[in-house]
Amino acid sequence: MITTFYPPYNFGGDGVFVHRLSNELARRGHLVEVIHSVDAYRLAAPSPQEPYRDHPGVTVHGLKSRSARVASLMTHQTGSPVLHGKRIRGILDSGFDVIHYHNVSLMGGPRVLALGDAVKLYTIHDYWLVCPTHALFRHNKVPCAGPPGCLTCTIAHKRPPQLWRYSSLLSNALRHVDAFISPSLTSQRKHEQLGMSGRIVHIPNFVSSSDAPETFRSRRSATDPPYFLFVGRLERLKGLHTIIPDFERFAKAELWIAGTGSDESHLRALADGNRRIRFLGHRSGPDLEALYRNAVALIYPSANYQVGIPPAEVSSGQGAPLVIIEAFSQKTPVLASRSGRIPALLEQTGGGLVYSTDVELRLALDRFLADRPYRDALGQRGHDAYQRTWTADAHLGRYVALVDEIVSGRGAPA
């Protein structure tokens, strides 16, 4: 596994997913090595998050240098693992059956894709392959339909332009990848629409079954305040700013926010003085599972791309966001804004409600609080969908089949 972020040096869902995948493979007898960038994490955070536990079959290589800023800037600007290239080559030279890339933006850029000799997979966790800001969110205001305007948008996101993006470096590097894995059909179609070449295979993400202690599994006390939960990076495109004002007028429950990000100071200012809004910071593992399990519902206000997806594809697991899968795994229903693919997902799974206006949001909040059997029924339906589609067994069955297919296509024994 080659990835920029890996727990505990991790911010978002991509690193968490690499951790889950690595450990699930190790539990099944595979030997897994992870190469990640401590330097990239140190740019924004002085110390790691709480420790994560790895299976004995997982070996982790955290790459760091004397100057995290210099190392990361050189990779960002050259598209190459300038300071860590020799170390990466040395690890890969030991011989692997599969090299699986994830977020490599500050781990080695495009040139890291050429290193090593194995079946090569790349999971598309975000839009870095087609967008210098990763997000396809133009000027940090609205969803982006693609070029032109990348240069001004990059500057608006306060990032230095990457001149290599105007060369053939990226397109040449992508030829080294045997298959790209897209957890979402929406993302797959967006990459294809924007002209990315290469084979893209849809495999939904998964959430591992919990081995958390029973203390974390218990429901909250009846004396605790009821709360709705938001989980994710605190960025503008997540839409959290659109619901904070509603909890100034809604006194029946609290809004708990688990996550950190660049928009945190603005969101805290927006919520200033409201004791019903709690910022919990980064949460993970059993602690996060308990937050999901004890919440009235997960709130998902994120803006999504308006990509038409047939209902049959949605019901087959076309790519629910990881936070929704995590909520379903804990039998917690979802309350989402009526945008993008999420309403169709909730309609097909039966795992939640959608809203369009502030009035609809408040009515939904009231209904969840007033009708416990109703919300429990939604949570059970979401959990049933999780069991069908988003388990480790379901994911790894497709994953290993893809590797075997690639190997067979090369004429080697599987």
Domain coordinates in residue numbering, the chain: 13-206+392-409, 214-389
Name the packing angle between helices 372-389 and 342-349 (round to 10°).
100
Instruction: Tell me the per-residue pLDDT of 143-190, one tens digit each, with 9 for 90 and over.
Output: 787 777 788 888 888 889 999 999 999 999 999 999 999 998 888 989
pLDDT of residue 312: 44
3-state secondary structure of 193: helix
CB atoms within 10 A of CB 56: 7
Q: Which amino acid belongs to residue 228? A: F
Q: How far is CA 248 from CA 14, 22, 223, 245, 313, in A?
A: 32, 42, 22, 5, 38
Alpha helices in 181-256 (DSSP H): 185-193, 214-217, 246-249
Beta strands in 250-395 (DSSP E): 254-258, 277-281, 297-300, 334-337, 352-355
CB atoms within 10 A of CB 49: 19
* CB-based contact 252:366 (threshold 8 Å): yes
pLDDT of residue 185: 85
CATH number for region 13-206+392-409: 3.40.50.2000
pTM of the model: 0.82
pLDDT of residue 262: 86
Same CATH fold, 214-389 and 13-206+392-409?
Answer: yes
What is the Cα–Cα distance from 393 to 175, expressed in whole angstroms? 30
CATH number for region 214-389: 3.40.50.2000
What is the Cα–Cα distance from 290 to 305, expressed in whole angstroms? 30
Instruction: Burial-class residue 29 by CB neighbours within 10 Å (0-12, 13-18, 19+).
Output: exposed
pLDDT of residue 216: 37
pLDDT of residue 412: 57
Element housing 138 (H / E) = strand 137-138
pLDDT of residue 102: 97
Q: Which residues of the chain have pLDDT under 70?
A: 209-223, 303-319, 412-414
Q: Which amino acid belongs to residue 382? A: G
What is the Cα–Cα distance from 159 to 81, expressed in whole angstroms? 19
